[in-house]
Structure formats: structure tokens, C-alpha cells
Amino acid sequence: MAGKVEARLAELGITLPAPAAAVANYVPWVISGNLLFIAGQVTLADGKPQFVGQVGRDFTVEDGAKAARLCAINILAQVKAALGDLDLVARCVKLTGFVNAGADFKDHPKVVNGASDLMVEVFGDKGRHARAAVGSSSLPLGVAVEVDAIFQID
Amino acid sequence: MAGKVEARLAELGITLPAPAAAVANYVPWVISGNLLFIAGQVTLADGKPQFVGQVGRDFTVEDGAKAARLCAINILAQVKAALGDLDLVARCVKLTGFVNAGADFKDHPKVVNGASDLMVEVFGDKGRHARAAVGSSSLPLGVAVEVDAIFQID
Amino acid sequence: MAGKVEARLAELGITLPAPAAAVANYVPWVISGNLLFIAGQVTLADGKPQFVGQVGRDFTVEDGAKAARLCAINILAQVKAALGDLDLVARCVKLTGFVNAGADFKDHPKVVNGASDLMVEVFGDKGRHARAAVGSSSLPLGVAVEVDAIFQID
């Protein structure tokens, strides 16, 4: 039986993907005490990179926010894999959003909002997190956004 | 009555600003167990971005350090908002300093020292922290420096 | 008497360097509860920066991975300085790898694998960590890679 958070995902029309396997000697998540660390997630869908390019050059801010939302969906897939039940999330503690962007770009916060908004849509007040949003000169696979996360579990 | 740390701030001639509101679905700080996570703070003063541009191109390293110090003052404002009393800080655990800089820049540590020095001026040995200092291709609002932080509280 | 992990380092032919001193008001490591935070380590050997330049322009991906491995060796030197005994590491929790790279670079994961692989070679399954790998427009001293780390201790 699906939990409250999964019911909320269904209301939002979001189907969590199979969590991406780490393709190296790292793992997608580590639980340490009450903290769940999620590895940086990029804009993969069905195993293929989406939103390949720079925000501000190849993508609008709005598209960048969609890319960040996709990263956040992939984060949730890892949380589900880690905990089994998304209802065990006590708090989304921190997101760090890396935006593939050139020197003149200034709207990193609006891009990373795509990930932040999803956390609050899904978890409500428990989804409100501390955050950093910064520019990166490039990102894995050439994608536009990467987001990593720390959650608190009960 | 002001605490010891606030008295120290007064000695240093530093008035903490009103903490910047998060302008999206994130929050400026989250407490999880004994850790206080502060969202990335930029060079806002009176709500307006200062030090807009790249260090090494538009700003000297010395100016970059002043920008980092301003980020650190904004971090302290959030810590005060989170804890009420800065004396409750047990340790500044980690700062990550993102410097808006081009490919030839090498002095990120000297820039981020502006934030590190303030932590030690204010908290003494409790202010000595682990740190990463890296270059970013661009930062929110076009500012020169962003710093996020983790504190330990008792 | 050397512990298990140090014996493994000897098998791998790795001699830990003297840990680099922090050259400012920060420290190379902070222990907070069960977490050990290691400051960002760069490609120093014998106190001199190695691998100075951009991956993809000045260095191949393979050389970048060697640079990341050197950062990881310097991380281990700090862990040893912090704990005295590397056997006290319960888990490598998180690595964040910053790769000095231009806009067209896509192979950050392969570069940061140099650090990830070392953690697993040295610690076995305890070395498997969550990770973020991102591009930086530049790094301290002009080096190609910087890696910071969080460990769990018992």
C-alpha cells in the first residue's frame, strides 16, 4: 500500500523512475545516523541525458527549472530506494544545485527553484530546505543541472 | 542582554543585518540534530547585491575577500535568526566558498579567507572550520562570492 | 603497529604524505558528532601543486583521474591526522569532486572516479560513498581537481 507521500506523488502525476545505478565505485545514497546523503542527480530520463547544454545559452530559465525538477524526481527515486517508504523522510535538509551556465548568467535561484518547488509540493513543510545555487562551468554528460541532497530520517 | 559573541561583534563594529528572506520554496536555515545548515549567502547589503562581477576581472583578490566577509556577516545574521543567541554555536564546522572567477584565477583561498577570518574573529577557536574554496562560472545575481555553512550547536 | 587500513595502503604501495597545513583561518578537518568533515584537498605533492591546468584542455581524462586520486590520498592523510588510526573510519559518506573544466567537458564522473576508486581500494565496502562531480571554472593554485569529504566514525 502506498504511503502518504507516494499518494501525493500520484496526485501530482509523478511516477518515480527506476533509480539510476551509480556507474562507478560510489553509491547513490548513504545513511549516516539520521542523515541520508543522496549523490548528485542529473537530468536522466529512461537512462538518457535530457537538457544537454547550458542554461542561458541553450535553455531558458524556465527550461532550466524543468531540468532541476527532473533532477529532484531522480533524487526522490533514490530516497525511495534508500528508505523503501518516502513517509520516513522527516525533513529535506539541504539541496545544492549546480547550474551549467556561462559568465553572464544570474538566474541560478530561479533554475534551482524547479527542484525546491517539487520538494515542497511532495513533502509540504518537511520539504523546506536550506539550499545553495551556484554556476558550474560544465556538468557530467553535458547536462544543464545537477542537484545533490541531504535528508533527515526519523 | 547581548551574549558574548554579540559583544564581540560590537567590538568588531559589525551590526548584523536583518536576515535575508529566502525568495522561494527554500528556507535560510535548517536544524537537523546538532547541525545547523545555513543556505548559501551572497553579498547582499540592505537587500541590494554588492560586488557584482568576477573576482580577478572586475575585483581584486582583496575586494573578493571583502565580498566573502559580507557573505559571512549574512551567514551570522541567519545563525542569529535560527538560534536567537549566537552563544549557542558550539563550532563552525564547514564553509564552502564559491568564487565567481574565470579560467585563469588561482587565488580562491585568499578570497574565501574573508569569510574564514570573520568566523575566527567572532567565535575564536570555535570558529575554525573545514572549508572548500572553488571557482564558479557565475553566481546568483551576478555576485562575486557565495558561501554556505554548517554549524554545530550544543 | 599499523592497523588494517594502513596495511592495505602498504599493499597498494601508497605512502601517506604529511597532511597539508591549512594556510589560513580554517583547519583541515573538524569532527562533529560521528561525522568527520575534511576540507577540500587539492593535488599537492611534497607541498607543490601538481596537475596545474584544465582537464580536457591541458590534461586527459585519465590524467584527471590521477589528479583526483592524489586529492584522495591527501584526504586520507588528513583522516589519519584527525583520527590517529584509519581503522576508526566507519564509512566514507560523501565526496564532492570539483573538476577544473571548460564548457564542453562531459567526463567529470570518470575524473572523480580516481578518488572514488581509491576509497574502495582502501576501505572496501566502507569506502562506498555518495558523491557529486561537477565542473569548476577554476580552482585554487590552478589545479585540475579538488575533492572534499565527509566520513562517519564509530
Interface of B with C (CB under 8 A): 33-35, 91, 93-96, 101-109, 113, 116-117, 119-120, 127-137, 150, 152
Closest residue in A to B52 (Cα) is: A106
Closest residue in C to B54 (Cα) is: C137
Taking the CB of residue B51, how many other CB atoms lie within 10 A of it?
Answer: 22
Q: From chain C, pick out residues whose CB is under 8 angstroms from the CB of B109.
A: 23-24, 140
CB hemisphere CA count around B107 (13 angstroms): 16
Over residues C82-105, mean pLDDT: 97
> What is the DSSP secondary-structure string of A87-124?
GGEEEEEEEEEEEEB-TT---HHHHHHHHHHHHHHHHG
How many angstroms away from the CA of B34 is the closest CA of chain C? 8
What is the tens place of the pLDDT at every residue in C16-44? 999 988 777 899 999 999 999 999 999 99
Q: Smallest Cα–Cα separation from A100: which of A48, A40, A30?
A: A40
Among A100-114, B1-15, B126-140, C131-145, the range scoring the smallest mean pLDDT is: B1-15
- Tell me the domains of chain B and their CATH numbers: 4-153 (3.30.1330.40)
* Residue A109 confidence class, pLDDT cut points 50, 70, 90: very high
B54: which DSSP letter?
-
Over residues B50-58, mean pLDDT: 98
Q: From chain C, pick out residues whose CB is under 8 angstroms from the CB of B108.
A: 138-140
Among A17-26, A68-77, A123-132, the range scoring the smallest mean pLDDT is: A17-26
The proportion of chain C whose per-residue pLDDT surpasses 90, expressed as a percent, equals: 92
Q: From chain A, pick out residues whose CB is under 8 angstroms from the CB of B25.
A: 113, 116-117, 119-120, 127-128
Q: Smallest Cα–Cα separation from C92: which of A37, A40, A34, A84?
A: A37
Q: From chain B, pick out residues whose CB is under 8 angstroms from the CB of A119.
A: 25
Query: What is the sign, positive or negative, of the torsion defined by CA atoms of C43, C134, A24, C40?
Result: positive
Q: How far apart are CA B109 and CA B138, in angstroms?
A: 17
Residue A1 has pLDDT above 70, yes or no: no
Q: Smallest Cα–Cα separation from A64: which of A104, A26, A99, A27?
A: A99
Q: From chain C, pick out residues whose CB is under 8 angstroms from the CB of A27.
A: 128-130
Question: What is chain B's mean pLDDT, rounded?
Answer: 95
Over residues B58-70, mean pLDDT: 98
pLDDT of residue C87: 96
Beta strands in chain C (DSSP E): 29-32, 35-41, 44-45, 48-49, 89-100, 130-136, 145-153
What is the tens place of the pLDDT at every residue in A62-104? 999 999 999 999 999 999 999 999 999 999 999 999 999 999 9
CB contact under 8 A, A105 and B26: no
pLDDT of residue B142: 98
CB contact under 8 A, C103 and A29: no
The proportion of chain B whose per-residue pLDDT surpasses 90, expressed as a percent, equals: 91
Residue C148 has pLDDT above 90, yes or no: yes
pLDDT of residue C21: 82
Over residues C125-149, mean pLDDT: 97
The proportion of chain B whose per-residue pLDDT surpasses 70, expressed as a percent, equals: 98
pLDDT of residue A154: 85
pTM summary value? 0.97
